[in-house]
Amino acid sequence: MKKIFFSVSMILTFIVSHAQKDFQGMAVYESKTSTSDFKAQMSGNRDITPEMQKTIEERMKKMFEKTFILNFDKQASIYKEEEKLDAPGQGGGMRMMASMMGGGGTYYKNVKDKSYAVDKEFMGKEFLIKDSLTTYKWKMEGETRQIGGYTCYKATAVIPASKTDFRNFRPKKEEDKKADEKKAAEAKAADGKAKTTSFFDELDMPKEITITAWYTMDIPVNQGPEGYWGLPGLILEVNDGKTIILCSKIVLNPKDRVEIKAPNNGKVISQKDYDETIIKKMEEFRSMNQGQGGRGGMQMRMSR
């Protein structure tokens, strides 16, 4: 009798482990970043005509509204922007900013060894960022809601704002602008030279942002969009106060399976070194832009 029980247990263990190994899912996410504050800023700029504003808003919409696909299993996932043809005129600075909007290449997460890899292209050079996953200090809020028929639970976390993610930039507050203008006037009075300004002088970066996530234990995988993870179920929505990433479709064990593996193209670099490289190049771009009276500065390329 013991032998029979042992055999049945072995069979059940094999079936469960085999099912977990073969399990795979696919989730579609719609990412949308609010542009209302930038629109308000443009409306108050006399140098921007209504036609220019309309063109800028159309391009911003394409940059700030994206669709991503997450393919996942029990251990790893790949998150990638849905492929679309580039619209005419999406070059120069617009393409540069688009590369800082959460897209770019394949984002691979392995929650078992707590690592990630993502390939990104910035100003003509390919990078392969490899690093450890961010440890989120999630706070369970106890609230629930329905998303696409799934019961979801709320969790929040406070994280440092990434300086290389353009979505984290906010237009400066009026009091900060006035303080900058006062400093510029004092500097001009001291040396007689007026300070040149650029687009980046109008922006501010918060030190921290609060993340609100909604996850479902109906799909018990430690995964989510972008670099989000660490909850006892698939994350279906993330909101940082400016960008919302919402799951619009889920397919479990799809017929067309995807190979979930890390990208391997580009210069290998840590997240810290990548951020420092991007910040340095952005400062160079800012200086060039100021030196040309707010025009140009788009021809800069990464040295290889």
Q: Return the higher-pLDDT residue of 285 and 42.
A: 285
Q: Which residues pair with 132 in a beta bridge?
A: 115
Residue 177 lies in a domain: no
Conformation bin of residue 106: beta by default, left when phi > 0, alpha when psi is -120 to 50: beta
Q: Which residues of 244-283 are buried (b: 16+ CB within 10 A; e: fewer)?
A: bbbbeebeeeeeeeeebebbeebeebebeebbebbeebbe
Say which CATH number the domain at 155 has. 2.50.20
> Using CA of residue 169, residue 174, residue 180, residue 185, what is the dihedral sign?
positive
> For residue 282, how far is the Cα from the chain centroid?
18
What pLDDT shows up at residue 16? 41
Q: Return the higher-pLDDT residue of 20 and 56.
A: 56
Residue 29 structural domain: 24-169+205-291
Count how many domains the chain has. 1
Residue 175 lies in a domain: no
Residue 16 lies in a domain: no
Residue 63 lies in a domain: yes
User: How are beta strands 203-204 and 208-216 bridged, if at all?
Assistant: unpaired
Residue 13 lies in a domain: no
Residue 104 lies in a domain: yes
Closest listed residue to residue 234, CA positions, set 77, 112, 30, 65: 77
Q: How is residue 200 annotated by DSSP? A: G
Instruction: Tell me if the pTM is above 0.85.
Output: no
What pLDDT shows up at residue 287? 72
Per-residue pLDDT tens over the stretch 167-195 = 766 666 666 556 656 666 666 666 666 55
Q: Cα(293)–Cα(207) distance, rounded to whole angstroms?
A: 29
Q: Are 134 and 159 in contact (CB under 8 A)?
A: yes
